[in-house]
């Protein structure tokens, strides 16, 4: 450390005049110029503190700034100049401050030099804002954002923990935060809701800050134009990250359907991707893409629908168990959707239907047969398994008598019905007398049948 301190002191004594720095490696004039107007602040940065120049994270260094008019080293001057690390602050610029400021970065072994050009211009007479303007655009009917070009100033002030504030103007009129369609946002942005044609014009952002006990300000003006053509982030409606099952050997198509909220022609490109390979639109290939429909929509939101088809002329085994992704490339992002192709399930509906139908027919037939032959079934079961019944003889006789009696009643009823229908003749209401010979004969016959 003592050695480094001694070297710095010697170099400092020798380099009070920039002409003594002729042996320093010269990086010439910095490409970007710094523009300012009288009365405002200007920030000059050297780009020599960088890894491509020297290892500033491990080597000690210091930065010296020199006045282009006198060639003398610049140091802190209350209310005028603040030197903070590699940055030179001019808190109140005057026309005579214009020129090329030289920064010299010294390390224990080497030194480097560079010039930064400060341009001081008078503001336009009778106008508000800066003479030089940055161009930005907003899209009509959408919410837009204007970005103040003073972000480098804000980052430095944050590094210093210095206080600052931002105000926006349109022309000469102050824009109040959250008044009407304008809102102050973070990162030095102004939000404009539902942009209209009359929102075009010059917008000025003014940064006010405290540094070195002095309040200073700096401004930038933005020339804003309104674009009547615009487009937003595309929306992929198909495929919807689903699983699709198809039969091997069949032909298959899948649509990639995209909606782009826009006015005018959006700059988008739709592609199908198999893993990391783009699928071509060559019909001679077995798998290829085809441009599908394209139409415009006016409500509920204006935009353009576009469709690109993925075609499988013949689905093969190697096509299964893969994700096929539709990607939409645009300046607003790259939305995507995919589907997974799987083999179709086996066709088991017909066999299942036949089995269920057969079971149903068998069940109905069994019920019908049990109904007709229930007594015979019970008697057969009793004879087959007599050990299950303690009073087999009595129960069997009773059951047999019951079956015989029931059968006899059925025969009698059938006979009487047939006899009456045969003797009524043409008059169905005719009743035979009880003593009629035919009726007496019938009664005798039925009695014999019953006894038997």
| C-alpha to C-alpha distance for 27 and 47, rounded to whole angstroms | 10
What three-state secondary structure class fits 439? Answer: helix
Q: What is the DSSP letter of 124?
A: P
| C-alpha to C-alpha distance for 208 and 129, rounded to whole angstroms | 15
66-89 burial, b at 16+ Cβ within 10 Å, e below that, comes to bebeeeebbeeeeebbbbbebbbb
Name residue 307's beta-bridge partners. Answer: 257
Average pLDDT, the chain: 84
Return per-residue pLDDT of the chain as tens, 452 residues: 444 444 444 444 344 445 546 689 999 999 999 999 999 999 999 999 999 999 998 999 999 999 877 889 999 998 899 999 899 999 999 999 999 999 999 999 999 999 999 999 998 888 888 999 999 999 888 899 999 999 999 999 999 999 999 999 999 999 999 989 999 998 899 999 999 999 999 999 999 999 988 999 999 999 999 988 888 999 999 999 999 999 999 999 999 999 999 988 899 999 999 987 999 999 899 999 999 999 999 988 889 999 999 999 999 999 999 999 999 999 999 999 999 999 998 877 777 888 888 889 888 988 888 878 777 777 787 788 777 766 544 444 454 445 455 555 555 555 556 655 655 554 544 454 444 444 444 444 444 444 44
- Which residue intervals of 124-185 are DSSP H helices? 151-160
Beta strands in 275-369 (DSSP E): 277-278, 287-297, 303-312, 322-330, 336-343
pTM of the model: 0.58
Residue 86's nearest CA partner among 124, 48, 56, 38 is 48
The pair of structure tokens assigned to 220 is: 């930038």
* CA-derived radius of gyration, the chain: 51
What three-state secondary structure class fits 55? Answer: coil
Domains of the chain: 2-120 (2.60.40.10), 133-228 (2.60.40.10), 231-343 (2.60.40.10), 369-422+434-451 (no CATH)
Identify the pLDDT of residue 349: 73
Identify the pLDDT of residue 97: 93
Residue 92's nearest CA partner among 134, 57, 56, 42 is 42
pLDDT in tens, 67-95: 877 889 999 998 899 999 899 999 999 99
Give the number of residues written for the chain: 452
Neighbours of 218 (CB within 10 A): 20
The pair of structure tokens assigned to 293 is: 């429909």
Q: What is the DSSP letter of 427?
A: -
Query: Is residue 381 within a helix (H) or strand (E), and if so which, with residue range?
Result: helix 374-384
């Amino acid at each position: 450390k003592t050695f480094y301190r001694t070297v710095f002191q010697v170099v400092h004594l020798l380099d009070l005049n920039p002409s003594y720095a002729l042996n320093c490696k010269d990086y010439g004039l910095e490409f970007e110029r710094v523009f300012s107007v009288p009365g405002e602040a200007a920030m000059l940065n050297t780009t020599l503190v960088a890894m491509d120049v020297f290892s500033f994270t491990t080597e000690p260094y210091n930065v010296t700034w020199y006045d282009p008019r006198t060639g003398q080293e610049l140091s802190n001057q209350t209310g005028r100049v603040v030197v903070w690390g590699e940055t030179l602050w001019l808190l109140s610029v005057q026309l005579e401050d214009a020129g090329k400021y030289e920064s010299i970065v010294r390390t224990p072994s080497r030194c480097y030099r560079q010039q930064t050009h400060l341009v001081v211009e008078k503001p336009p007479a009778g106008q508000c804002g800066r003479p030089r303007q940055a161009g930005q655009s907003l899209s009509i009917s959408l919410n837009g954002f204007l970005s103040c070009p003073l972000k480098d100033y804000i980052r430095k002030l944050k590094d210093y923990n210095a206080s600052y504030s931002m105000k926006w103007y349109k022309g000469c009129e102050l824009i109040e935060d959250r008044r009407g369609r304008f809102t102050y946002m973070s990162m030095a942005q102004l939000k404009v809701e539902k942009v209209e044609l009359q929102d075009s014009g010059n917008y000025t952002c003014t940064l006010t800050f405290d540094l070195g006990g002095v309040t200073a300000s700096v401004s930038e003006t933005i020339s804003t134009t309104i674009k009547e053509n615009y487009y937003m982030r595309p929306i992929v409606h198909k495929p919807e990250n689903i699983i699709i099952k198809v039969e091997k050997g069949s032909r298959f198509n899948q649509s990639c359907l995209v909606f782009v909220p826009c006015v005018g022609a959006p700059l988008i490109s739709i592609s199908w991707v198999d893993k990391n390979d783009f699928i071509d639109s060559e019909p001679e290939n077995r798998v290829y893409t085809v441009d599908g429909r394209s139409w415009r929509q006016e409500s509920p939101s204006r935009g353009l629908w576009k469709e690109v088809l993925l075609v499988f002329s013949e689905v093969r085994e190697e096509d299964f168990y893969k994700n096929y992704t539709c990607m939409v490339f645009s300046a607003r992002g790259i939305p995507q959707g995919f589907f997974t192709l799987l083999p179709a399930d086996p066709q088991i509906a017909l066999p299942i239907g036949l089995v269920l139908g057969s079971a149903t027919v068998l069940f109905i037939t069994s019920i019908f047969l049990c109904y007709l032959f229930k007594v015979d079934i019970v008697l057969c079961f009793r004879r087959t398994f007599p050990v299950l019944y303690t009073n087999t003889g009595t129960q069997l006789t009773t059951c047999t008598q019951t079956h015989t009696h029931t059968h006899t009643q059925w025969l009698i009823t059938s006979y009487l019905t047939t006899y009456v229908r045969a003797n009524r003749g043409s008059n169905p209401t005719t009743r035979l007398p009880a003593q009629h010979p035919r009726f007496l004969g019938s009664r005798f016959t039925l009695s014999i049948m019953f006894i038997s």
